[in-house]
Amino acid sequence: MAGGFDIEEVSDRLRLEELGPEWDCLFDECPFATPFQSPAWLLPWTRHLGEGRPFVLALRRNGTLSALAPLMLRGGELAFMGTGISDYLDVLALPGAEDEAASSVFEYLLRKSGKWKRCSLHELRPGSPLLSAAAPPGLRASGSAGEVCLTVPLPDRAEELGRRGPRSGKNGSKRTRRMLEESGDLLVGTATPDALPGFLDSFFSLHAMRWRALGGTGVLNGNEIRSFHREAASGLLDKGILRLYRMRYRGADFAALYAFVHRGRMYAYLNGFDPAFLRFSPGAHILRRAVEDAIREGAGELDFLRGAEPYKYAWGPEERSNSTLVIEHG
């Protein structure tokens, strides 16, 4: 027991799968949780992309799962599950238990220091309890700023979005958008369970087309990553979190947007478009449509996630940074 918690170290993948329903309940109770911390995202990651073995700390009080640290151990190094493809990672903890849970994780790492050599925790959100917890004697922890994340406060009504976002030239104009919508040739849809496989195929294709035009391959090249997204997208759709958009113009796929809406925030994760339609600014148009829909659902913030690409700054975003926390012996 540490800090009033009974701690189970889950190192078996079968046991990790069994933990899924409790983990999902905990996720629903955590006000600062993001889709990247859900079992719908991280369990598929372990099945398709995760190397090493689980080192998941399940913290219980009176038998109830009160906190969870979803770690993986690879070659002596501990890291969060989902590292690399996830934009916010952290310990999950019930409201009021965050600081105690973070201290208990440190204490457990100290007691089990023979099992690991280094712990590198990336993409910790601002305000993570792990960043403020004091490392016990025998461990040392150092934090550093990570990649910038850009966020945009949203108005209460979609009609008040006004001049936010790209407005002219190759970035797209209201006139161009109005022309497309009034033509009757532009169709916009979001994925339903039955339509999800086809929407994902379109999204993968459009993402690859966009990156080929830039001389690259994008981040969806390979069977493993696509299998992960097929499973994660299905789970997040069932949770009511996924928003997968597809635009078609005169019967041809025009643009796609892979996004999430959760706890009053829209996360713009990945997009794709056909470069042949570049003059219509497909990325700008599909994003604005998705943001308008999110506002109607009650979203108060647009989160562009990691990266300082110029098109994001057209929305007048606020900057903040995730953090990296490195824990070592000593």
CA–CA dist 226, 270 (Å, integer): 13
Residue 157 pLDDT class (50, 70, 90 cuts): very high
Q: What is the pLDDT of residues 255-305, one digit of tens each?
A: 999 999 999 999 999 999 999 888 888 898 899 999 999 999 999 999 999
Long-range contacts of 259-264 (CB under 8 A, 24+ apart): 259/290, 259/294, 260/35, 260/236, 261/294, 261/297, 261/299, 262/34, 262/35, 263/31, 263/33, 264/298, 264/299, 264/300, 264/301
Helix orientation angle between 39-48 and 20-29, rounded to the nearest 10 degrees = 140
Residue 185 pLDDT class (50, 70, 90 cuts): confident
Question: Would you say residue 232 has pLDDT above 90?
Answer: yes
Question: Would you say residue 310 has pLDDT above 80?
Answer: yes
pLDDT at 170: 42
- Asked if 166 contacts 172 with a C-beta cutoff of 8 angstroms, the reply is yes
Out of 177-191, 192-206, 265-279, the most confident range is: 192-206
String of b and e for 159-183 (b: at least 16 CB within 10 Å)? Answer: eebeebbbbeeeebbeebbeebeee
pLDDT at 312: 92
Residue 48 pLDDT class (50, 70, 90 cuts): very high
pLDDT at 4: 87
What single-letter amino acid sits at 196? L
Q: What is the pLDDT of residues 53-87, one digit of tens each?
A: 999 999 999 999 999 999 999 999 999 999 999 99
pLDDT at 69: 98
CA–CA dist 323, 87 (Å, integer): 11
Q: Of 273, 259, 271, 272, which Cα lies nearest the Cα of 303?
A: 259
Joined together, the tokens standing for residue 1 give 């027991």
CB neighbour list of residue 254: distance below 8 Å, 6 or more residues apart: 186, 247, 248, 273, 274, 277, 280, 282, 286
Q: What is the pLDDT of residues 168-180, one digit of tens each?
A: 444 445 556 565 6
pLDDT at 174: 57
Q: Whole-model pTM?
A: 0.93
Domains and CATH numbers, the chain: 6-146+322-329 (3.40.630.30), 155-299 (3.40.630.30)
